Amino acid sequence: MIVLMTDFGLTNPFVGVMKGVILGISPNSRMVDLTHDISPQDVAEAGFILKTSYFYFPQGSLFVIVVDPGVGTKRKIVYMETENHRFLAPDNGILTTLFPEEKPVKTIEVKNSAYFLKPVSSTFHGRDIFAPLAAYLDQGIKPEELGDLLDPNALVHSPAPRPKKDKDGNWHGEIVYIDRFGNLITNLSGALVPSKEKAEILIKERILKGLNETYSELSAVPSALLNSFHTIEIAVNHGSAEEFLNVKKGEKVILKCPMSFS
């Protein structure tokens, strides 16, 4: 299975052309769209979506990620295998978002242009490099044919923000994704919360008390819950927390110090 994720959107032909290239080389390939609505050039958002989604797919799935602000430059293109999955992406921090949960067993810098479409556009590597590589890999070529082994420790570090704990034990995170409903997804893991009932979330001078389990429990003002990503989310029942609070990605969120729970 080939799983596609891009920031191309679906109002232009880019995704369709990539699929056409794949099927032209490998007519029996199965493709799934993870999403094509990553915010333009947002590597951190792409990493978050990948990190919270990949493990739901069958073993051996090949994730092709084209969120590539460095397209046409000397940035590397990397093929990476872990114990259960395969990934093909630019070396811009997307793949290292998976660390340390996923441990690479094979990492290759793609150099063999024999598997590229010709001529290669400097602005559409999704069509000319990533799509044909995905097709040939799905056809069973050995990854070693793509290029040279690469030390995974040399990959570009993920730009995705990670929660930080202050001296008082408070966890400082931020909004890393806003879905189409206006729900605010943070990078604060539910594992950091010792008590749903006593949890306190601080955002824009508001204190949200307790963590709910369903959207129907929420009121018409921003409230917090644990979402399907297993992170803390801020939402409004039948409304948009994004609009209510007038916030964007990057807004700071604090999980109150667990030591202060009584």
Q: What is the pLDDT of residue 257?
A: 64
- How many degrees, rounded to 5, is the angle at CA 183 between CA 93 and CA 166? 60
Q: Which one of 2.40.30.90, 1.20.140.10, 1.20.1250.20, 3.30.390.30 gives the CATH number of domain 164-260?
A: 2.40.30.90
Sign of CA dihedral 216, 219, 221, 224: negative
Block residue for tokens 């793509």: 146
DSSP E strands in 36-136: the ranges are 62-66, 77-81, 86-90, 106-110
Q: Which stretches in the chain have pLDDT values below 70?
A: 257-262
Angle of the 131-139 helix axis to the 14-25 helix axis, nearest 10: 30
Strand partners, 200: 209
Stated pTM of the model:
0.91
Structure tokens at 41: 């050039």
CATH architecture of 2-154: 3-Layer(aba) Sandwich (3.40)
Per this entry, what is the length of the chain?
262
The domain spans of the chain are: 2-154, 164-260
Q: What is the pLDDT of residue 258?
A: 54
Q: Which residues have CB under 8 Å from 183's CB, separation 6+? A: 227, 233, 234, 235, 240, 241, 242
User: Residue 106: what pLDDT?
Assistant: 97
* Residue 54: partners with Cβ closer than 8 Å, 6 or more residues away: 3, 61, 63, 85, 87, 98
Residue 224's SS3 state is: strand
Q: How far from 225 is each of 21, 73, 134, 190, 213, CA to CA, in Å?
A: 42, 42, 38, 9, 6
